[in-house]
Amino acid sequence: MTQRHAQRTYTNRRYLDAIADHVVIFDGAMGTSIQRYNLTADDFGGEQYNGCNDYLVLTRPDVIAEIHASFLAVGAEAVETCTFRSNPLTLREYGLQDKTYDINYAAAKLARGVCDSFERETGIPRFVAGSIGPSGKLPSGNDPDLSNITFDELADVFYAQAKGLVEGGCDVLLIETSQDILEVKAAVYGINRLFADLNVRIPLQVQVTLDTTGRMLFGTDIASALTTLEPLQLDVIGLNCSTGPEYMREPVKYLVENSPYPISILPNAGLPINVDGEAVYPMEPDPFSEMVAEFTRWGVGVVGGCCGTRPEHIGKLYAQVHGHSYEEEIAGRAKRRPPIVRQPETVAKASSNMRAVSMIQNPGPTMIGERISTQGSRKVKQLILADDYDSVIPIAVQQVDSGAHMLDVLVALTERADEAEQMKILVKKLSMAVETPLIIDVTDPPVAEAALSVYPGRAIINGNNLENGRERIDKVLPIARKYGAGVLSMTIDEEGMAHTRDKKLAIAQRITDIAVNEYGLLPEDLVFDTLTFPLTTGQAELRNDAIETLEGIRLIKQHIPGVLTALGVSNVSFGITPAARGVLNSVFLYHAVQAG
């Protein structure tokens, strides 16, 4: 159980208990199974609904029930509802958007009835997984149609679908075959909002789909996907569809070594081939089951099949995983194999749309590029004033090429009042152009939300402090929780910037207490900037400011385990000659790194 997971209370946790007890087997392909019935337009309720498999839960529930039973009969413990495309956007293609709740509710009740029947007969718990596929929109892109939807609108789409599934009796919700990581974030948020509204929580399982190169549609690799999703409120993470198991080996290894959550792997029966205009999945049950079962010996706790997998695949998989047939277990002569206990590495990371970056570099400190700033770069200010966002991209690329691990982005201008819109435009362009994660530097918390609503990765919000008491922090932290962002806070409170080591520590402790105990963030989500004044102020009371900054870093690391620290090193040398600045900055950086 992860630290984030431990904070949750479940209405129904049978499914999570099963994963902790043994390797759980899912069913196989719903679509492939439906094709074998050779259904006509009448079976779908008329020509206008022909091909809408999800509508069959109302027009031919007997067919869907038979398919569920066919997988349960060979050892599957969990079956997915026939609702892969049952969200309002995709149902609109058939004019069925007003039946979103009815279809999802009926599908869950139908699967629940079949599972309950098998559970009574065998004494083996069976689980209903509410299948939630993509919406058909691609919010990370720039297509005028496919990308024309907001984060909150997407969240509402998945909220609507999940409501029917939860109230229909699902044991777990399954966001699957996800191709756009920003859409996944919206789906997770919408579903958790539903849980809060219903005062119900069942497990949430999220599965992305990767191509043969190991990336999602917009280039997101498995490290970036895990980093982006890990801070969100989910319970199981994994992969499904797209490829057969042979192309999943490296991503699965990464998840086994790094995921704090249980892992689910549901591959296709090989890569599809075109036969007379139809997709055919060539991998037979024996090689499929052998490859997928191997993943469970690495530490994967949930396995099953996706496109092209038949009951024969699942029956063979059951035998390969547990070392005996399903019939032997039913007869009471064997028990299911317990899961492998993993001890994954957990390192604080940020992510872009394409890759993850450790926030603790080894060797050396994490370098933050700060040239994309209307307050620190005259050129960037002129470009933003002129709405020339494309010309900012080469500046970002240059910083990355020069060694920046992350990029701080600030667009506030006294000459303009549309900071939120400017930030959205620039962040969208940067997310598609650079692989380096972003730090969203804001003066106003709503600007951070505007940026994160279009950012596919895991960013850091820069702009938190206690200057006005809790006014700012109570706006920033809910945004961070919603989007899974980290938070960079300055050691400033109602009395101003802290100048002593003890005051810097006290402010950091106060912020940590609020963030962790009230908002559910972890210490690893928090970064503290202990700040420093220039040595050239001439003020006697600031003479030791740099030393107090260094000691403040040391105290924070000693007394608040897990948090990170950051520092604008060059602030210490403002007002002296360039040559002297280089020397002073280098010495100060050295001691800052030694301090932590």
CA atoms within 13 A on the CB side of 596: 21
Q: What is the arrangement of strands in the sheet containing 406-410, beginning at the earlier edge strand?
A: 368-373, 406-410, 438-441, 460-464, 486-490, 526-529, 564-566
Mapping DSSP onto H, E and C, the string for 512-568 reads HHHHHHCCCCCHHHEEEECCCCCCCCCCHHHCCHHHHHHHHHHHHHHHCCCCEEECC
Chain centroid to CA 510: how far? Answer: 28
Compute the distance between CA of residue 71 and CA of residue 311 in angstroms, rounded to an integer: 5
Alpha carbon distance 178, 556 (integer Å): 39
| Rounded-to-5 percentages of helix, strand, coil across the chain | 45, 15, 40
pLDDT of residue 103: 98
Among 497, 583, 585, CA closest to 548: 497
Supply the Cα-derived Rg of the chain in whole angstroms. 26
| pLDDT score of 1 | 55
Beta-carbon contacts of residue 562 (< 8 Å; ≥ 6 apart): 522, 523, 524
Structure tokens of 479? 């945004």
Contact 162, 175 (CB under 8 A): no
Quote the CA–CA distance of 8 and 5 in Å, as a whole number. 6
Long-range contacts from 56-62, C-beta under 8 angstroms, 24+ separation: 56/82, 57/81, 57/82, 57/83, 57/103, 57/106, 57/107, 57/110, 58/99, 58/102, 58/103, 58/106, 61/106, 61/110
SS3 track for 274-332: EECCEEECCCCHHHHHHHHHHHHHHCCCEECCCCCCCHHHHHHHHHHHHCCCHHHHHCC
Separation CA 492–CA 499 (nearest Å): 9
Q: Is 101 left (phi over 0), alpha (psi -120 to 50) or beta?
A: alpha
pLDDT score, position 125: 96
Backbone angles phi, psi at 79, to 5 degrees: -120, 145
Q: Burial level of 378, CB count in 10 A (0-12/13-18/19+)?
A: exposed
- The Cα 253–Cα 240 span in angstroms is 15
User: pLDDT 10s digit of each residue in the chain, 596 long?
Assistant: 567 777 789 999 999 999 999 999 999 999 999 999 999 999 999 999 999 999 999 999 999 999 999 999 999 999 999 999 999 999 999 999 999 999 999 999 999 999 999 999 999 999 999 999 999 999 999 999 999 999 999 999 999 999 999 999 999 999 999 999 999 999 999 999 999 999 999 999 999 999 999 999 999 999 999 999 999 999 999 999 989 999 999 999 999 999 999 999 999 999 988 888 788 899 999 999 999 999 999 999 999 999 999 999 999 999 999 999 999 998 888 889 999 999 898 889 999 999 999 999 988 799 999 999 999 899 999 999 999 999 999 999 999 999 999 999 999 998 988 999 999 999 999 999 999 999 999 989 999 999 999 999 999 999 999 999 999 999 999 999 999 999 999 999 999 999 999 999 999 999 999 999 999 999 999 999 999 888 777 677 677 888 999 999 999 999 999 999 999 888 887 878 888 888 888 898 888 899 88
Return the number of other C-beta atoms located less than 10 Å from residue 294's C-beta: 16
Classify burial at 273, counting beta carbons within 10 Å of its beta carbon; exposed 0-12, middle 13-18, buried 19 or more. exposed
State the residue for tokens 């599957």: 76
pLDDT at 572: 80
pLDDT at residue 183, rounded to an integer: 98
Q: Which two structure tokens, joined as six digits, stand for 67?
A: 């398919």
Prediction pTM value: 0.95
CB atoms within 10 A of CB 3: 14
In 3D space, the residue among 465, 420, 475 whose CA is nearest the CA of residue 447 turns out to be 420
- The predicted pLDDT at position 33 comes to 96
Residue where the block lists tokens 């948020």: 189
- Residue 117: partners with Cβ closer than 8 Å, 6 or more residues away: none
Instruction: Indicate left, alpha or beta for 556 from its phi (over 0: left) and psi (-120 to 50: alpha).
Output: alpha
Q: How many CA atoms lie within 13 A of 10 on its CB side?
A: 17
Positions of E strands within 324-480: 349-351, 356-358, 368-373, 406-410, 438-441, 460-464
Q: How far apart are CA 550 and CA 596, in angstroms?
A: 9
